[in-house]
Structure 1
């Protein structure tokens, strides 16, 4: 069963901190980050990317209060709570930014090739 699931996943983007996979069968994305996996529907994944993008790293670095260098994300569409240190936030932003760029690139390529596909 586990091998069957992994054979349906297409790697979208990978860094040393994690990876993003796409499952066309379930129309979902799998995020591998922080030693855990989280599955998202497409719209929820794009929303999660926006949520992570809103983390203000400059404010985290400037604020001297004890817990200012932690970002907590609890998206309602997943059971996972993301507790991110500043480094985690930087790593997750890089991973999701790369994944989003690859998704957009794939869409552009499909759009360009569509007139040539019968």
Structure 2
């Protein structure tokens, strides 16, 4: 659960997961599978890379039971994700959307700052 004192804004949401930004703690919160996980900005991007690096094709093609799930333990969290192919794809969707929105917000701020400087 997100800290009740946190000042959070939704970054991106799908039917399966949500990402929120906390300006008070300068972190991101991922809500997925009924759990909430906090990430620093750097750790959030590293987690996204780990999810993107999961070889979904190998999971689908290999019949061995050991390939049915991917276990991911994000850095500096107490959470362990045990993910099926479907869950990997769900996480990819929400993390990609969140990263896009974060980058878009950054670009908008840059444009507004340039516009304010040029107005003087």
TM-score with structure 2 setting the length = 0.90
Tell me the SS of whatever aligns to 1:20: strand
User: Which sections of structure 1, spanning at least 5 residues, go unmatched?
Assistant: none
Q: Shift in Å at residue 100 of structure 1?
A: 0.6
| Structure 1: distance between partners of 2:45 and 2:52 | 11
Asked if the contact 2:43/2:75 (under 8 Å) is kept, the reply is no
Question: Which residue of structure 2 aligns with residue 38 of structure 1?
Answer: 37
Tell me the SS of whatever aligns to 2:38: strand
| Structure 2: distance between partners of 1:76 and 1:29 | 14
Q: Shift in Å at residue 60 of structure 1?
A: 0.9
Question: Which residue of structure 2 aligns with residue 16 of structure 1?
Answer: 15
| Structure 2: distance between partners of 1:101 and 1:76 | 22
| Structure 2: distance between partners of 1:22 and 1:109 | 17
Give aligned pairs, total: 115
Question: Which residue of structure 1 aligns with residue 81 of structure 2?
Answer: 82
Tell me the SS of whatever aligns to 1:19: strand
Question: Which residue of structure 1 aligns with residue 108 of structure 2?
Answer: 109
Question: Which residue of structure 2 aligns with residue 58 of structure 1?
Answer: 57
| Structure 2: distance between partners of 1:19 and 1:59 | 27
The root-mean-square deviation of aligned C-alpha atoms, in Å, is 1.3
Question: Which residue of structure 2 aligns with residue 73 of structure 1?
Answer: 72
| Structure 1: distance between partners of 2:72 and 2:20 | 21
- Counterpart check, 1:47 vs 2:46: yes
Deviation string 1:78-108 (CA, Å, 9 cap, x unpaired) is 1100000111111011110111111111111
Larger Rg: 2
